[in-house]
Amino acid sequence: MHILFLAPRLPVPADSAMDIFVLSFLTEGVPPLTVLEAMACRVPVVATKVGGIPEMLKDGETGLLVGAQDTDALRTAIETLSGNVGKRQMLTNLAYEFVQANYSLERMCKANKQVYNEVLSYVI
């Protein structure tokens, strides 16, 4: 297994380039799109439980969550996924289904249309 440390401005590599996506923020205000991108690419995610990340990543179901400064838990989560192909596949399948159900283009367009219709109902 190879470990890539990516600069903040580089795009997330294609799913075939990664075995595990790790996002270890100490704080986060808005859920980062990179988590959803990894999930959509069927790459298992290990992330810290900060900001909105727990809203999109359910620990043990669609990824693994660890405390923001818990380096031992982060190491354990990475080791768990690197040594267990079955667990990685289970997480990636559930994560992919979650993204498709909640963040697909069709779903997002419907949600945006609903917001526009609601706003227009106040204006008209």
Q: What is the mean pLDDT of each run of 10 residues along the chain (124 residues)?
A: 56 62 84 88 94 92 96 96 93 95 86 89 78
**Cβ-based neighbours of 67, under 8 Å, separated by 6 or more:** 48, 49, 73
Class of domain 15-123: alpha beta
Which pLDDT belongs to residue 80? 95
User: Nearest 5°: CA angle at 86, between 83 and 92?
Assistant: 105
Tokens 């079955």 found at? 86
Which pLDDT belongs to residue 4? 61
Q: Where are the beta strands (DSSP E) in 1-124?
A: 21-23, 45-48, 64-66
Q: Assign 16 to helix, strand or coil.
A: helix
Sequence letter at residue 32? P
Q: What is the reported pTM?
A: 0.76
Q: Which pair of structure tokens corresponds to residue 15? A: 């799913």
Which pLDDT belongs to residue 82? 92
Q: Which pair of structure tokens corresponds to residue 90? A: 């289970």
What ranges do the domains of the chain cover? 15-123
